[in-house]
């Protein structure tokens, strides 16, 4: 039996997350009560939600998907 790899979690301060040149470390994130972004390094929104529920208690935060507008 193999042990599941632990998911990487990145905590980004509000000031950094709102900068125009910010490059997100993952697509899935939450904004916590302090206004900071918490990114989950995974390719599944379901797994990101499970990790958010594990860290912050079930139903506290909904995982968002990172969408940035491209400028030409």
- pLDDT tens sequence across 1-59: 555 678 899 999 999 998 888 899 999 999 999 999 999 999 999 999 999 999 999 99
CA atoms of 67 and 72, how far apart (whole Å): 16
Chain centre distance of CA 15: 16
Residue 55's pLDDT is 93
pTM: 0.84
* 72, 42 contact by CB (below 8 A): no
Residue 3's pLDDT is 58
């Amino acid at each position: 039996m193999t042990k599941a790899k632990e998911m990487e979690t990145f905590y980004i301060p509000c000031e950094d997350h709102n900068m125009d040149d910010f490059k997100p470390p993952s697509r899935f994130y939450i904004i916590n009560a302090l206004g900071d972004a918490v990114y989950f390094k995974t390719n599944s929104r379901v797994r990101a939600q499970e990790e958010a529920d594990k860290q912050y208690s079930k139903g506290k935060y909904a995982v968002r998907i990172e969408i940035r507008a491209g400028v030409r």
